[in-house]
């Protein structure tokens, strides 16, 4: 009998959007699936992030790890005790209702996740932190938003360095204390949650790389978008490879 080892199932958090301007869909960029399948070695499974359709308990049982994707809607400020303002932009309360308790459950269980952009911000909020509604409005900060014009390649081009804490998790994983990243976000961490370790910053001081202190599983999260052409990028490859290894280890323990 041939022993076939299945790929770890990676739940990719989907975003709500409108197709042709009026038809609601759940969607995620194909670059997320490519990074999961081709670099992390996982089986990508898009999750409709809406508590009407899925529950956190079901997702934890179904998946071996989670990719917390970027997305245009922001975490609602009520989730971290702030009032809503026009600067906070648009929201997806259904996604908030799934991802925030999912993150806390994964931290407790040791189930791996990788946070990207909005997902990075969700991790901080889930662990008790707060967000700035608009980084570029802060004194001394650069504009981290996606360039409004140009091709997709130009919008995802490398734009600034990220400096990691010497000897920290990201430094050891990347084999370098400084890397170049893209930048496509408007919000960012204001106050880090009590267990959030900020392990990397942009030159203007904006937090860019975090993990959860003393978590039993993989919790690395980044403010940039490593999923874009992950197989070709020397920064993205080790990040997704490590995430995939953690998900495979979780799947192995589940099977045992």
CATH number of the domain encompassing residue 13: 3.40.50.880
Q: Is residue 2 part of a domain?
A: no
pLDDT at residue number 87: 84
Q: What is the spatial distance between Cα 222 and Cα 201, in angstroms, rounded to a whole number?
A: 10
Q: Which residues are catalytic?
A: 117, 225, 227
HEC secondary structure over the chain:
CCCCCCCCEEEEECEEEEECCCEEEEECCHHHHHHHHHHCCCEEEEECCCCCCCCHHHHHHHCCEEEECCCCCECCHHHHCCCCCHHHCCECHHHHHHHHHHHHHHHHHCCCEEEECHHHHHHHHHCCCEEECCHHHCCCCCCCCCCCCCCHHHHCCCCEEEEECCCCHHHHHHCCCEEEECCCCCCEEEECCCCEEEEEECCCCCEEEEEECCCCCCCCEECCCCCCCHHHCCCHHHHHHHHHHHHHHHHHHHHC
pLDDT at residue number 1: 42
Name the residue range of residue 211's domain: 9-255
Q: State the total domains in the chain.
A: 1
Q: Is residue 70 part of a domain?
A: yes
Q: Is residue 169 part of a domain?
A: yes
pLDDT at residue number 125: 98
Instruction: Please compute the mean of the pLDDT values over residues 8-35 and round it to a whole number.
Output: 93
Asked whether residue 2 carries a pLDDT value surpassing 70, the answer given is no
Q: Is residue 179 part of a domain?
A: yes
pLDDT at residue number 231: 95
pLDDT tens for 108-150 read: 999 999 999 999 999 999 999 999 999 998 999 998 998 888 8
What is the sign of the dihedral through the CA atoms of 65, 71, 73 and 77?
Answer: positive
Q: Is residue 113 part of a domain?
A: yes
Q: What is the spatial distance between Cα 28 and Cα 48, in angstroms, rounded to a whole number?
A: 10
Q: Is residue 185 part of a domain?
A: yes
Q: Is the pTM of this model over 0.75?
A: yes
Asked whether residue 4 carries a pLDDT value surpassing 60, the answer given is no
pLDDT at residue number 18: 84
């Amino acid at each position: 009998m041939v022993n076939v080892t299945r790929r770890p199932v990676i739940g990719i958090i989907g975003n709500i959007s409108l197709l042709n301007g009026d038809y609601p869909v759940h969607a995620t960029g194909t670059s997320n699936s490519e990074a999961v399948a081709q670099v992390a070695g996982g089986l990508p499974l898009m999750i409709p992030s809406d508590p009407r359709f899925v529950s956190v308990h079901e997702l934890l049982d179904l998946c071996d790890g989670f990719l917390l994707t970027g997305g245009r809607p922001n975490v609602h400020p009520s989730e971290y005790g702030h009032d809503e303002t026009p600067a906070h932009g648009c929201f997806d309360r259904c996604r908030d209702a799934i991802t925030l308790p999912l993150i806390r459950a994964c931290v407790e269980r040791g189930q791996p996740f990788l946070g990207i952009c909005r997902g990075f911000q969700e991790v901080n909020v889930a662990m008790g932190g707060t967000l700035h509604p608009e980084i570029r409005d802060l004194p001394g900060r650069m504009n981290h938003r996606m360039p409004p014009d140009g091709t997709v390649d130009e919008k995802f081009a490398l734009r600034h360095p990220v400096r990691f804490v010497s000897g920290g998790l990201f430094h050891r994983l990347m084999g370098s204390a400084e890397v170049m990243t893209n930048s496509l976000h408007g919000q960012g961490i204001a106050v880090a949650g009590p267990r959030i370790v900020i392990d990397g910053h942009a030159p203007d001081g904006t937090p860019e790389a975090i993990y959860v202190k003393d978590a039993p599983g993989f919790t690395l999260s980044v403010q940039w978008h490593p999923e874009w052409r992950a197989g070709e990028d020397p920064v993205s490859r080790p990040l997704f490879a490590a995430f995939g290894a953690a998900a495979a280890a979780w799947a192995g323990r589940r099977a045992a």
